[in-house]
Amino acid sequence: MNYNNLLIEINNRTAVVTINRPDKLNALNKKTLEELDDLFSKLKFNDEVGVVILTGAGEKAFVAGADINELNQLNAITGIEFAEFGQSVFNKIENLGKPVIAAVNGFALGGGCELAMACHFRVASENAKFGQPEVNLGILPGYGGTQRLSRIVGIGLATELILTGDMIDSSEAYRIKLVNHVYTQNELLTKAKEIADKINSKGGFAVQMSVKGITASDELSEKDGLSYEASLFGLCCGTNDFKEGTSAFLEKRKPNFTGK
Ligand code: COA
């Protein structure tokens, strides 16, 4: 597939995916969602990629939401299909099996905030703004916002944000743990890449299994989650990286991980 609305750059095992419709504040139209769907299917099986960073083009927006021109055409039936398609793409990102970091460089509104929340964690620039303004349009968040926001910030704050449609700035997003770090606009991508480099320096299989376990914690009971964790732990114990990591510690040297 040719990507008209995405830029992809792979360096040092990190793929930087940039949503590239800056004149529309990177609003997610159907084509962009289809491109994300196709790209993340490929990234899953790309052994050259250990970590993905998702960001937006320009200095103003990460993603300013679903494309309101397309929203405006929906009816009760196509609205369900619209929400289900977006949800399936975001679920694919969440279930990539590799860490996806949202580098939020400006407005993350509606579908943009939901996209950032489908990533495994978020870092933001000082000018970033977050919100779920769908009630202003007579709808509710349809790409996972009613589910993921409350899991991340708690049900009380999530309810207030969704019902008022209020925007919050990056320091408030940091305070409520919607983002892990706030950086200047200039340093945002460099800092996100530093985090990605650090993750890529670890045992790759262990990183992937950690992401699987953490992601599953949303859906499993504690009993099932712990059982799943024990299985993932066992799988890691069968890898060369496990032998290498433990041996390197005992031999007081740096490990040389291969991801196998
Ligand atoms: N869908 C489609 N187009 C959008 C968009 C969206 N979600 N968000 C912004 N755009 C477009 C604008 O229509 C404008 O296009 P134009 O130049 O062809 O008129 C362009 O992006 C720039 O946006 P503009 O509104 O002029 O920028 P601003 O700095 O004045 O305001 C926002 C920025 C983010 C506050 C404002 O664009 C906004 O409220 N966007 C919608 C946010 C929203 O409700 N998202 C949830 C959708 S579910």
| Average pLDDT for runs of 10 along the chain of length 260 | 97 98 98 98 97 98 98 98 98 97 98 98 98 98 98 98 98 98 98 98 97 95 97 98 97 95
Report whether residue 133 contacts ligand 1, using a CB cutoff of 6 Å. Answer: yes
pLDDT value, residue 126: 98
- 114 is an active site residue: yes
Taking CA atoms only, the protein residue closest to ligand 1 atom 21 is 24
* 84 flagged as catalytic: no
| 93/122 Cα distance (integer angstroms) | 14
User: What are the residues facing 18 on neighbouring strands?
Assistant: 7, 55
The pLDDT score that the predictor gives to residue 220 is 96
**Other C-beta atoms lying within 10 Å of the C-beta of residue 174:** 18
**Ligand 1: which of 68, 134, 167 to mutate, judged by most atoms within 8 Å of the beta carbon?**
68
Read off the pTM: 0.97
Nearest to 89 by CA among 142, 43, 36: 36
Residue nearest (by alpha carbon) to ligand 1 atom 8: 64
Which of 35, 134, 222, 251 is catalytic? The answer is 134
For ligand 1, say whether the CB of 109 is within 6 Å of any of its atoms. yes
The C-alpha torsion from 135 through 123 and 7 to 63, rounded to 10°, is: 10
pLDDT of residue 45: 96
Contact residues for 33 (Cβ-Cβ < 8 A; gap 6+): 85, 86, 89
Q: Whose alpha carbon is nearest atom 16 of ligand 1?
A: 24
